[in-house]
A and B are shown apart, each in its own frame.
Chain A
Amino acid sequence: MLKRLRENKSAQGTLLALPTTIWMFILLILPLLLTLVISFGKRSPDGEVIFTFSLDNYIRLLGFSSDCAGGQASCFDPLYMQILGRSLMLAFNTTVIVIAMAYPLAYFIARADPKRRNTFLFMVLIPLWTNFVIRVYAWMMLLRKEGAINLIIGTVAHWLGINFVPLELLYTPGAVLVGMVYEFLPFMILPIFTSLEKIENSLYEAAADLGASPFKTFLRVTLPLSMPGVVAGTILVFIPVMGTFIVSDILGGRQYILVGNLIQRQFLDARDPAFGSAASLILMVMTLIVTYFYTRKFGFGEEIVAA
């Protein structure tokens, strides 16, 4: 039998792919199917799922409700659509800011002396050694009314003799944005760095040789050749920001709700897994649509792997 396996290349392939396939089936396909089934269900009065086929959860997500105040038969409340829109905007803003911050830094590291390059990369990675949640709490400490930032500004103001009322930094949309940018910055720096580092020095020399100034070289050679890194980084940042609930939970306060928080609360607080499942699937579909159009325009950043 072993001998036959040795000769049969396709059987070898199947065998090698088997563990991953089983793993993916149990932990990805099965839960997804379960979520899909539950999302068509209903909540029983005591918080159990009643399996049935109803589109109520999706209709509710779109903002139409069958029982609303004022005794109307149906009414429209775009709350959930607003939450989705807010998440989308936040993910977009975070990604743009992260690109703007990560690109220059990645460029700087890629062109640094190879001996110092590793030190810089190490510094980028160090925060990732700490737990995600703890890092968010650290920002809470910084942004609080009595936090480090207010303390520093207050001290300087006092010194200059200016009256200073501590700023309300925590529990604002800005705090969530800062937290997201901070959490996901390394995931943008690394792919951009990788694509920039791959650009051979002779290409810069060739551009200069052909009459391109350093600025034109950047626009015509550096930027296009590093796009795969930007694309890969965007995918790595945009998708998780869409779904994360911890940052908004800790830095945004109870009023600031993103899709992630909505889903989390359906499962834990509201005890309505059916509605939570529907929201999860809507989030997934939305993310897929955005990613689809994005990758159709820019590719997957695959050249980063292929080159």
Chain B
Amino acid sequence: MKEFAVELRDVVKKFITPEGNELNAVDHVDMQIRNGEFFSMLGSSGCGKTTSLRMIAGFEWPTEGEVYIEGKPMGHTPPFQRKVNTVFQSYALFQHMSVYQNVAFGLEMEGAQKEEIKKRVMRALEMVQLIGMENRRPKQLSGGQQQRVALARALVKTPDVLLLDEPLGALDLKLRKEMQLELKALQQQLGITFIYVTHDQEEALTMSDRIAVMSKGKVMQMGSPAEIYERPRNRFVAEFIGESNFLEGQIKSLSANEASVFIPALNAEVTGTPASEGLVHGEQVFVSIRPEKIHLTEHSARLNTFEGEITSTVYIGSNTHVVVHIGDVRLKVWEQNRISRLEPSSFYTIGQKVDLMLMPENTLVLKKD
């Protein structure tokens, strides 16, 4: 078995817009997806994630570059000759067939024996907990059940790679969370490579081994959920995944794991960790820090500590969202409510002077573009 289940090498997909302009829906994308990995492509609509998936499935062909499956270049191989299967966003179930017939369809196309088909279909239906529904029509099922039929229909083919195009998009929140865990468990149990397309960052973080964050046809960053969240390499990723405070400044000193940035708005230097590649001395940069990673203390005189004033507090149960102003600079701070109390702590009252401590390892220095 090859190391990479799927590889995209310098893939470009051009479309002609209705206005007649050329558009790079996928713009020089390189991706290596390892065997047995749960890989997500994450981005907002129009970022090229679905087009990338469709090129792996064979519904679209790259304008430039090449898609490899199990090390073999795919060229113009049609979908029915690729050993990958797709779970469609709309499920794309055959309404004129029963649940059983839907799941059996792919095996019939392989020319499997009737007995064999029956055994495998029932096993697939068992896997997605649809035993007893074989004779129903897709229209007689709930959205979640239809989703499971689509999953069983693809999995029964025992593909090397399963492609999932926002499969949970049409489900309500609670069911979606359940299915996320189920899908993840199923993937681990079967050991099949999953390539999952979603616009929901929480979903991607919950399920994936690795994530490719995409924007405007390009891969902005690829890495584990922790890498993506804790070490975003540019402002787009830091902003798209979770929330962040951004401060503009200029690099005053720089080493491999520490950078000092002068922030004019604070009229002070902040020490942080270089997160983007290719930072240079004197460069205009952003300093990024997540709201939950700012410490509010009463009086301390440590490194990277600034005095500010609380201007708003919102109690949301597990956290209190606090806004602190340091002069004109506005920072979001999330404090965990570790102690149970009915009245807000006097500490979080509007007008309260507090010290904000930005730990250098939580303070990321990012390139400006």
Smallest Cβ-Cβ distance to A212: which chain B residue: B109
For residue B144, CB closer than 8 A to chain A, the reply is no
* Residues A209 and B80 in contact in the complex (CB < 8 Å), given A202-B88, A202-B90, A216-B109: yes
Q: Which of A62-70, A139-147, A218-226 contacts B (4 or more CB under 8 A)?
A: A218-226
Residues from chain A with a CB closer than 8 A to the CB of B90 are 200, 202
In the complex the two chains form, what is the Cα distance from A202 to B54 in whole Å?
11
B89's nearest neighbour on chain A, judged by CB, is: A202
Contact A209 B86 (CB under 8 A): yes
Asked if A220 contacts B92 (CB within 8 A), the reply is no
Provide a sorted-by-A list of 14 A–B residue pairs whose CB atoms are within 8 angstroms.
A200-B90, A200-B92, A202-B88, A202-B90, A203-B94, A205-B59, A208-B59, A208-B78, A210-B85, A211-B80, A211-B157, A216-B109, A224-B96, A225-B96
B277 at the interface (CB under 8 A from A): no
User: Smallest CB–CB gap between A222 and chain B, Å?
Assistant: 11
Which residues in chain A, 203-245, are within 8 Å of chain B measured between CB atoms? 203, 205-213, 216, 220-221, 224-225
User: Do B88 and A220 touch across chains, with their CB atoms under 8 A apart?
Assistant: no
Q: Which residues of B contact A216 (CB under 8 A)?
A: 109
Q: Which of chain B's residues has its CB closest to A199's CB?
A: B95
- Residues of A near any B CB (own CB < 8 A): 200, 202-203, 205-213, 216, 220-221, 224-225
Q: A200-B90, A202-B88, A216-B109 are in contact. Are A209 and B96 (CB under 8 A)?
A: no
Q: What CA separation (Å) do A200 and B90 show in the bound complex?
A: 10
Where the two chains meet, the residues of B that have a C-beta atom closer than 8 Å to any C-beta of A are 57-59, 78-80, 84-86, 88, 90, 92-96, 105-106, 109-110, 153-154, 157
Q: Are B96 and A210 in contact (CB under 8 A)?
A: no
A209/B79 in contact, CB under 8 A: yes
Determine whether the beta carbon of A206 is less than 8 Å from that of B80: no
Least distance between A39 CB and chain B CB atoms (Å): 43
Contact of B92 among A206, A213, A225 (CB under 8 A): A206
Residue of B nearest to A208 (CB): B79
Contact in complex: B80, A202 (CB < 8 Å): no
Say yes or no: A213 contacts B94, CB within 8 Å.
no
Q: B95 contacts which chain A residues (CB < 8 A)?
A: 225
Residues of A within 8 A of B58 (CB): 208
Contact across chains for A209 and B94 when beta carbons are under 8 A apart: no
Q: Considering the chains assembled together, what is the distance between the CA atoms of A209 and B153 in angstroms? A: 10
Q: A212-B80, A212-B109 are in contact. Are A206 and B157 (CB under 8 A)?
A: no
Q: Which A residues are CB-close (under 8 A) to B109?
A: 210-212, 216
| A213/B80 contact (C-beta < 8 A), A205-B59, A224-B96 known | yes
Chain A, Cβ-Cβ closest to B54: A205
Q: How far is the CB of B265 from chain A (nearest CB, A)?
A: 51
Contacts of B59 in A (CB 8 A): 205, 208-209
What residues of chain A lie closer than 8 Å to B80, measured between beta carbons? 208-213
B84: chain A residues within 8 A (beta carbon): 209
- Residues of A with C-beta under 8 A to B157: 210-211
Minimum CB–CB distance for B326 against chain A, Å: 53
Bound CA span A212–B154, Å: 13
Complex Cα gap A210–B85 (Å): 7
Q: How far is the CA of A220 from the CA of B102 in the complex (A)?
A: 11
Q: Which chain B residue shows the least CB distance to A210?
A: B106
Q: Are B79 and A205 in contact (CB under 8 A)?
A: yes
> Chain B's nearest CB lies how many Å from the CB of A47?
56
Closest 10 CB pairs of A and B: A210-B106, A211-B109, A206-B92, A202-B92, A208-B79, A224-B96, A209-B86, A208-B80, A211-B80, A212-B109
A247 to chain B, nearest CB (A): 36
Question: Which residue on chain A has the smallest CB distance to residue B105?
Answer: A210
CA distance A220 to B96 in the complex (A): 10
**Which of B85, B88, B96: most chain A Cβ within 10 A?**
B96
How far apart are A307's CB and chain B's nearest CB, in angstroms?
8
Q: A305–B160 Cα gap in the complex (Å)? A: 41
Q: Does A205 contact B96, Cβ atoms closer than 8 Å? A: no
Q: A205-B59, A212-B109, A213-B80 are in contact. Are A221 and B92 (CB under 8 A)?
A: no
